[in-house]
Amino acid sequence: MRTDLERFFNPSAIAVIGASQDLATISGQPLKFLKSHGYKGKLYPVNPRYPEVMGYQCYPSLAELPEAPDLALILVNASRVADVLRQCGAKGVPYVIIFSSGFSEMGGEGVKLQEELIAIASEHDIGVVGPNCQGMMNLADSVYAGFGSVFNSAYEPGPVSMVSQSGGFGFSVMSLSSTDGGLPFRQVVTTGNEIGVSTLDFIDYFIRDPRTEIVVGYIEGLKDARRLLEVGEKALAAKKPILMWKVGNTELGQQAARSHTANLGGAMALYKAAFKQAGILQVEDIQDVVDYGRAFRCGRLPRGNRLAIITITGGGGILMTDECIARGMEIPRLAPQTVEKLRGFVPSFGSLLNPVDVTAAIFNNTELINQTLQAIIDDPSVDCVAMINASLQGELAALVATQIVAVAKNTDKPILLAWSARDVVAQEAYGMLDAARIPHYKSPVRCGRALAALSWYAEALRRNGRTRAEAPLTLSSSTARRAVASATGDVSEYSAKRILAAYGIPVTREEPATSREQALAAARRIGYPVALKVQSPDIPHKTEARAVRLGIASDAELAAGYDEVIANARAYKASARLEGVLVQEMAGEGVEASLGAVNDPLFGPAVMFGLGGIFAEVLKDVSFRLAPLTPSSARGMIEEIKGYPVLAGARGRAPADVDALADALVRLSAAAVDLEDCFAELDVNPLFVFEKGRGVKAADALIKPKTRDEVTQ
């Protein structure tokens, strides 16, 4: 794949294939906009019907152009795109944008047409953007190569680069975001059906682009989703935050419903897990893009998550406290020396607790802001500061802004403001803040969300540093790989546990037996009490068939139990192939956990964790991570579920062995990586987690190998 996307965004010549003289139509707009926004390179309309378009010489075919342009815009009917693409290949065009619709989004014939395009692009090494997209804007260099209402206006360029799978909506986000002192963009590209250059290719380029500081993505789904971790890590290393807007949860959730475990969270759970692991911030509306982007533009990150709030209105302070605490920030007590300082000037009916309420007394004495802010900035227990100025406006607002700017100059702690005055009545104040890159928001809720985003990202950077220091566990078992690869159907309990044991996951002691005598001998070796379970590929639900006996305590009970479970199994299903019984140690008392791994078609191996039974299956209280896991990410996924207190020792229980549980998760993830070519699903359910220091033990397991189709995919 071509990666010299600088040429794509800043081409020295552009061909517009299918350019129309009707400038209102889709095929008329790109040339019009390129010209009206002052594109500096050469423009070559191509259309056999016209001698010229908009004053440019028009060529009957691409072959007749005097040079190979860096970029061709393809605006012809879907049925003719393949031909045109071949001509681009022959001419040596490195990049094309296919605007035309009528491909895979249409199904049927469209899918075939699209496959043809992929083949042609591959043959000629053409970097294809689209089809079914609305083009690209390089605002910094005035390249407006697309169509749509948004292209009518020019936008102030800035340091934000965005890739969007949706054309219409993507440009709307850019347009609204850059309005009214919002977030200025550098380049925006829409990728549509994305048969060539992908969202992650563009993000990867933005990370390398020296003039991009913040990356925004709008996606419906990623064909190369498993690259998310790698791209995320590059972005963290470059300290360029990625704001990701993922939509289409409901549909994708259904798509991925085929495997039982992934079904618990749907594919969205894997996206969320990947974003979290990769330090990619999720956004949920246009306002988030603007608000978070503005926060990052201040160029400061908090050292920790401790926030101090200063407010002139108690209401705003409470609101921000709610918002920030809900998003994992801390609102600490201020240091005693800070409180002492504040006592000198905050009115007695104000509050010296955090939030510090200086009250409307600000109207009688604006010095209050300056003094309070400085005292709090100096407090070593504070990592960042929010100030809430309600609707202060006019001269008073300008006075206050001057003081804030002065204090901000002498600290590297982020200061964010919630300031609700309308733009028209606080222009001077807002202008000063903008010049000093001090982010301000119209509501405490939005300010709180932006602060929490900064704090989350700073923590992701710190966490990434720690995780990189951990050596990833790599395990390999050729025996296990052979066993899974050669399986013709589900690998059931006994064999599945042998395979898991090969990766060091503790399993119950057990032996298969095909006669009463063998079972007796096995039970004596294992030691009473034991469990007996009928083994049959035809009886998946052994309990339902009453083909399980637990807590067998003696030879006599065992003999009777053997006869009973065999008889029950026969009665349940006369045709069942019986392979004898499994004699198993009783696992003992522990918390039941459910561990799983899926081999997701998009993400590759991923690990799931939850408590057993209802907790995972009904309440969906589960967590996901892409494999491989480090010990600290395994801890993270254990602590993330709501039921975690059960393991930590809720309701008078002794704390469970969470270290051993984390180790089992790490080993399961390593197994999933080792078995990637051949497994579809690994299930360990239940895994008993014993008291701290006593380990874990898998009591049942199931491995689904890849079906032949999946293997050859």
Comparing C-alpha atoms, which of 202, 218, 192, 242 is closest to residue 1? 202
Q: What is the footprint of a second copy within residues 500-559 (CB under 8 A)?
A: 544
Whole-Å CA distances, 12 to 9, 62, 95, 124, 291: 10, 16, 12, 20, 35
Q: What is the footprint of a second copy within residues 626-685 (CB under 8 A)?
A: 642-643, 645-646, 650-652
Do the beta carbons of residue 655 and residue 691 sit within 8 Å? yes
Cα separation of 537 and 673, whole Å? 27
Whole-Å CA distances, 195 to 130, 132, 141, 413, 671: 6, 10, 26, 44, 33
Q: What is the footprint of a second copy within residues 586-625 (CB under 8 A)?
A: 613-615, 617-621
Q: Is 165 in the site for a second copy (CB under 8 A)?
A: yes
| Residue number with CB closer to a second copy (471 or 618) | 618
* DSSP label of 225: G
Q: Where are the alpha helices (DSSP H) in 545-674?
A: 555-572, 614-617, 631-640, 644-648, 658-674
Q: What is the footprint of a second copy within residues 191-230 (CB under 8 A)?
A: 218, 220
- Reduced to 3 states (helix: H, G, I; strand: E, B; else coil), residue 29 is helix
Cα separation of 493 and 293, whole Å? 51
Comparing C-alpha atoms, which of 644, 650, 649 is closest to residue 609? 644
Q: What is the footprint of a second copy within residues 228-287 (CB under 8 A)?
A: 247-251, 284-287
CB environment 657-677: b (16+ within 10 A), e (fewer): bbbbbbbbbbbbbbbbbbbee
| Residue number with CB closer to a second copy (33 or 562) | 33
Q: Is 425 in the site for a second copy (CB under 8 A)?
A: yes
Least distance between a second copy and beta carbon 426 (Å): 8
Binder among 87, 198, 199, 321 for a second copy (CB under 8 A): 321
Binder among 47, 175, 261, 372 for a second copy (CB under 8 A): 175
Binder among 176, 399, 485, 559 for a second copy (CB under 8 A): 176
Q: What is the footprint of a second copy within residues 12-31 (CB under 8 A)?
A: 24-26, 29
Least distance between a second copy and beta carbon 446 (Å): 7
SS3 sequence, 503-563?
CCCCECCEEEECCHHHHHHHHHHHCCCEEEEECCCCCCCCCCCCCEEEEECCHHHHHHHHH
Q: Is 130 in the site for a second copy (CB under 8 A)?
A: no
Q: What angle, rounded to 10 degrees, do the helices at 228-237 and 444-469 form?
A: 100
Binder among 312, 415, 530, 662 for a second copy (CB under 8 A): 312
Comparing C-alpha atoms, which of 331, 362, 323, 325 is closest to residue 345? 362
Strand partners, 31: none
| Residue number with CB closer to a second copy (73 or 475) | 73
Least distance between a second copy and beta carbon 132 (Å): 7
Q: Is 153 in the site for a second copy (CB under 8 A)?
A: yes
Least distance between a second copy and beta carbon 659 (Å): 21
Least distance between a second copy and beta carbon 207 (Å): 23
Q: What is the footprint of a second copy within residues 446-485 (CB under 8 A)?
A: 446
Query: Taking contact as CB under 8 A, which single stretch among the options 393-401, 508-516, 625-633, 686-694 is the one that binds a second copy?
Result: 393-401
| Residue number with CB closer to a second copy (424 or 556) | 424
Displacement of CA 160 from its chain's centroid (Å): 19
Binder among 144, 171, 430, 690 for a second copy (CB under 8 A): 171
Least distance between a second copy and beta carbon 307 (Å): 13
Strand partners, 71: 14, 95
Q: Where are the alpha helices (DSSP H) in 573-618?
A: 614-617
Q: What is the footprint of a second copy within residues 53-112 (CB under 8 A)?
A: 78, 101-103, 105-106, 110
Sheet (strand 95-98) strand order? 42-46, 13-17, 71-74, 95-98, 127-129
Least distance between a second copy and beta carbon 621 (Å): 7
| Residue number with CB closer to a second copy (40 or 49) | 49
Least distance between a second copy and beta carbon 218 (Å): 7
| Residue number with CB closer to a second copy (392 or 675) | 392
